Structure 1
């Protein structure tokens, strides 16, 4: 399959050129996609860039795709996301793509969109939303994503793998270090081997009791339950997917555990970067170069998501490992599936992005230029029923 590299820095220029070209094409098919992320920072800034990059490619091939991006001010402004969806319905956009802040709260508005004939694409989720007609789910299993990070922590603190001082595993170029890889690697460990993996850590979760936070906690804890010498201190700290609150949680953990902490797992990228900054300020950040180092005051940071910013920190060794959730893919396919469904064409009911680990040796495979499959926009345009 032909693969096309899309650079983030070029997105704005490409999008502008695509818009100009499409405006000049008399037979361009207009498609308006309302994209509603929880915010437009971090991971969702990345996804938004690739929604726009994908639209720019469409606009070179007989479309005039407009992506309207609107988001609440914060992840906890639940009513604002509902209001945005309702406004997009009133504007009669062709498609609504959304990453819900919380599924139950936004569910009635999504049901209303579907009832009004506006196709709904859900991003950042594979689990079906009850009583809502969703044409496609683009995302990953949140439980699986957290499991992948849990295995990376086990690897770093003595288990087999690619990170720590345990048994080293040979990796082929481009190999996915996904859940299947880790479960195969750890499935045959004896109780004695499991007991040799030892560390003490703390957990920063997202919104306490929320769907996404609960799913990730469940996945992480399910893996760690089999390893008796992985100890989690105290209660989890909820940081609402926010960097500043992630910093505050880490400061609290350091104060209550001045010596007995080896790692922090933050359930999202923004919170993980906050943890990194707090540890760095306290001169307690463990890096890939100086760790693993049990028994001192350094703390290693592991997290989930992967963005251009966090890839830089991974490459520098300041984040040990992070599980990617495919944010470039969200936008790249989000626009493509939105245009196809607006054209009356079939799209996958689910598109599973396999969570896999990013670490220093493979970080550059993810950003700044992720390789993405080329979309056959010419064929989509030729088959588009809106133009007939």
Structure 2
């Protein structure tokens, strides 16, 4: 299917995910031959990078549904930046006024949007939250699609450990044989690390810097905690300086990387950026200064080259990983968000059950497995015909 759709369709912007029939309506079985209408309001924190990827796959799944007896319409609108918190609230309020069937949202900041989500559910509009598994107190969310942000950063930290001498699939340490398709998730890395002695851990050495997201924000805090939690076990890995806040933005991430490289001439081994927009910015800066370490160079502590590690995974970053320009990245399943998000949206609109939470286990992406993710991610097909046959939806 994905070969047929090709890149122009795959990476075009559009929309969506999410939710339940209007509360209080009496479901009616859709008649054969009728297209079943579902209007979804999709409100990401922005429409670039990872959210562009997620939106593309929401739209691809909607196109697939519309070939099988549905008429899924997606209304997509995002704030002007991921830090425009009040603007995201206004967009949700607008979706309520439009009386969409469902609202799907990836919160720019959780606390800020809680009142708006509560108003949506009070108006009979169900809500699906994307990019989060932790329940939001006081809001009746129909389904959460996402991953544990702390665990995602822990996986990235283990990639750093692996590259600079630990056991795994990267760098100079003992190589671990993995079967094709193996999930290099947190359990995989923890099982490997559990076999290391304190002496083994102390031998793994590197100096690195961190570019975080929005300082003090929910997502940035969770990722910083996860990354540091793992590195605390490896006293030879040193984080220099404080964190630089890149606000999940490539331009700001680029400025952070410039400052970090300027302050650490010849004594920095890696940069970890908490999102790939910032990580791609760091990669470009290091490359422009002839300081970018590639997989062809190999880990070499103490030289002038800097290895880039990051989180998220998009078509662009997979290309850079496949080229050896970024060492490793932790995937958060943005294609999965859109593909399964639209599936859940239609099922919920049809009065069918969906999981309360859909956990996309973060896992490592590196040169050898990068093409498992883009341009043709391995996603299971959706049985739209069965969903259509069982659909009950209020007119």
The two structures have a TM-score, normalised by structure 1, of 0.94
Cα distance between partner residues in 1 of 2:7 and 2:125: 30
Q: Provide, for residues 208-233 of structure 1, a one-character-per-residue CA deviation record: whole Å limited to 9, x for no partner.
A: 00000000000000000011111000
Q: Provide, for residues 340-362 of structure 1, a one-character-per-residue CA deviation record: whole Å limited to 9, x for no partner.
A: 11111111000000100000000
What secondary structure, in the 3-state scheme, does the structure 1 residue paired with 2:393 have? helix
Cα RMSD (Å): 1.5
Matched, 1:350 2:378: no
Matched, 1:269 2:276: yes
Matched, 1:256 2:263: yes
Q: Provide, for residues 54-80 of structure 1, a one-character-per-residue CA deviation record: whole Å limited to 9, x for no partner.
A: 101110111100111100010011111
Cα distance between partner residues in 2 of 1:170 and 1:245: 38
Q: Deviation of residue 119 (structure 1)?
A: 0.8
What secondary structure, in the 3-state scheme, does the structure 2 residue paired with 1:137 have? strand
Matched, 1:44 2:51: yes
Cα distance between partner residues in 1 of 2:389 and 2:161: 51
What secondary structure, in the 3-state scheme, does the structure 1 residue paired with 2:168 have? coil
The two structures have a TM-score, normalised by structure 2, of 0.93
What secondary structure, in the 3-state scheme, does the structure 2 residue paired with 1:222 have? helix
1:35 equivalent among 42, 61, 68: 42
Unaligned runs of 5+ in 2: 15-31
Checking the alignment, whether the CA contact within 8 Å between 1:33 and 1:335 is kept in structure 2 is no
2:337 corresponding residue in structure 1 = 330
1:178 corresponding residue in structure 2 = 185
Cα distance between partner residues in 1 of 2:120 and 2:343: 20
Checking the alignment, whether the CA contact within 8 Å between 2:11 and 2:52 is kept in structure 1 is no
Cα distance between partner residues in 2 of 1:26 and 1:84: 35
Matched, 1:9 2:5: no
What secondary structure, in the 3-state scheme, does the structure 2 residue paired with 1:378 have? helix
Cα distance between partner residues in 2 of 1:307 and 1:218: 23
Q: Residues 134, 321 of structure 1: CA spacing in aligned structure 2 closer, same or farther, 3 A cutoff?
A: same
Matched, 1:159 2:166: yes
Q: Provide, for residues 92-129 of structure 1, a one-character-per-residue CA deviation record: whole Å limited to 9, x for no partner.
A: 10011110000000111011111111110000000001
Cα distance between partner residues in 2 of 1:294 and 1:223: 20
1:140 equivalent among 147, 158, 173: 147
Q: Provide, for residues 297-323 of structure 1, a one-character-per-residue CA deviation record: whole Å limited to 9, x for no partner.
A: 110000000000000000111100000
Checking the alignment, whether the CA contact within 8 Å between 1:4 and 1:374 is kept in structure 2 is no
Checking the alignment, whether the CA contact within 8 Å between 1:285 and 1:300 is kept in structure 2 is yes
Q: How many residues align?
A: 376
Cα distance between partner residues in 1 of 2:73 and 2:33: 16
What secondary structure, in the 3-state scheme, does the structure 1 residue paired with 2:134 have? coil
What secondary structure, in the 3-state scheme, does the structure 2 residue paired with 1:260 have? coil
Cα distance between partner residues in 2 of 1:186 and 1:134: 37
What secondary structure, in the 3-state scheme, does the structure 2 residue paired with 1:58 have? helix
2:206 corresponding residue in structure 1 = 199
Cα distance between partner residues in 1 of 2:271 and 2:359: 28
What secondary structure, in the 3-state scheme, does the structure 2 residue paired with 1:189 have? coil
2:228 corresponding residue in structure 1 = 221
Q: Which moved more, 1:97-106 or 1:335-344?
A: 335-344
Matched, 1:287 2:294: yes
Checking the alignment, whether the CA contact within 8 Å between 1:4 and 1:372 is kept in structure 2 is no
Cα distance between partner residues in 1 of 2:8 and 2:267: 42
Checking the alignment, whether the CA contact within 8 Å between 1:123 and 1:138 is kept in structure 2 is yes
Cα distance between partner residues in 2 of 1:182 and 1:9: 36
Q: Residues 367, 12 of structure 1: CA spacing in aligned structure 2 closer, same or farther, 3 A cutoff?
A: closer
Q: Residues 30, 12 of structure 1: CA spacing in aligned structure 2 closer, same or farther, 3 A cutoff?
A: farther
What secondary structure, in the 3-state scheme, does the structure 2 residue paired with 1:373 have? coil
Matched, 1:243 2:237: no
2:381 corresponding residue in structure 1 = 374
Cα distance between partner residues in 2 of 1:373 and 1:186: 32
